[in-house]
A = this chain, B = another copy of it.
Amino acid sequence: MTFWLNGAFREETRAIDVADRGFLLGDGVFETILLVDGVPAFWDAHRARLDDALEALRFPVRSDAFALTAARELAARARADAGAGVLRLTVARGPAGRGLAPPVPAEAAPTLLMTAQAMAPYPDEPAALVVSKVRRSSASLSSRFKTATYLDNLMARGDAAAAGADDALMLNERGRVVCASAANVFVLKDDATLATPPVGEGALPGTVRALLLARGAEAGFAVREAALAPAELSGRALILTNSLMGVRPAVIGGVAAPTRADALLSRLQMWYRAVLTEDVEQRARQL
């Protein structure tokens, strides 16, 4: 496997320091980015979110440490440049002395890792959801950003797997729906209105989520943030969104979404794919 670590392409995978706080304490952040024929999709949005996380966690590095050209070359070297692939940017605090205090600035040596791999397409069927018992802490930085402190999400996904489902909805400490283990959730409130929980409820500010909120009107939907009780999902069409799956219909508790919603959600998916294609084509021209 070829990967990129702190500026160099590498093959020997035993490369992370045993004292890296990313490994010892979950002290890191990451982005998962869709590759379309080796071109990172929505690169600017991912970089902006990564910068927000790096600033919030007081990392002494910013997203410009990951060059688009290096990402593109990595995709080719990792044979993830045909069809769909996944690019992961990881920033960990790096090696440090014992204890919880981060290294002083003069000794900080963050770990910058980029990996790429091919990805099988998501199935066409709706994702089957269950409700996880794991509660998401609305005010935690690990809810607000994609951090290496991911155990709650892993446990929620485990709940789903144990129930034979694809993913699990997570509720926050007030019992309200916030997101799935690694996806945002939207509910079709009526034929033209989609609602998704606010970031303040503990929802990750996903890149596809932000796109739908900003531009969903182009697909004929009023898209807004709203606190959601679990009961409000019942009998309604749902979608999951994230960078890799894009817009994916979902059903909860094995109950199929109303059929009339299918055409509406297809329209949204088509619009999303067009926006994605436009972004990737524009990016490809920079390369």
Beta-carbon contacts of A178-216 to B below 8 Å, as 1s and 0s? Answer: 000110000000000000000000000000000000000
Q: Which residues of B contact A58 (CB under 8 A)?
A: 158
The answer to the question of A5 belonging to the interface, with a C-beta cut-off of 8 Å to chain B, is yes
- Chain B, residue nearest A174 (CB): B173
Contact between B150 and A139, CB atoms less than 8 A apart:
no
Contact across chains for B140 and A134 when beta carbons are under 8 A apart: yes
Q: Which of B30, B155, B158, B182 is A24 in contact with, Cβ under 8 Å?
A: B30
Question: Is A15 among interface residues, defined by CB-CB distance under 8 A?
Answer: yes
* Cα(A14)–Cα(B26), bound, Å: 17
A55-86 CB contacts (< 8 Å) to partner B: 57-58, 86
1/0 contact string of A32-69 vs chain B (CB within 8 Å): 00000000000000000000000001100000000000
- Quick one: which of B16, B27, B115, B154 contacts A154, CB cutoff 8 A? B27
| Interface secondary structure of A, over-half rule | mixed
A122 to B14, CA, bound (A): 35
Residue pair B19, A13 in contact (C-beta under 8 Å): yes
Are B113 and A98 within 8 A (Cβ)? no
Smallest CB-CB separation from A136: which chain B residue?
Answer: B137
Interface centre among A95, A150, A151, A158 (most CB of B within 10 A): A151
A23 within 8 A of B: yes
- Which positions 94-136 of chain A face chain B at CB distance < 8 Å? 95, 98, 100-102, 113, 115, 117, 119, 133-136
Residues in chain B near residue A17, CB distance under 8 A: 13-16
A150 near B18: Cβ-Cβ < 8 Å: no
Q: Give the interface segment out of A141-149, A251-259, A261-269, A270-278.
A: A141-149
Are A157 and B100 closer than 8 Å at their CB atoms?
yes
Interface residues of A in 149-164 (CB under 8 A from B): 149-155, 157-158, 161
**Known A23-B90, A26-B26, A142-B151; 20 more pairs at CB < 8 Å:** A13-B17, A13-B18, A16-B23, A23-B92, A24-B150, A25-B154, A26-B148, A86-B98, A88-B98, A98-B117, A100-B153, A100-B154, A134-B140, A135-B173, A137-B137, A137-B152, A141-B155, A148-B149, A149-B150, A149-B152
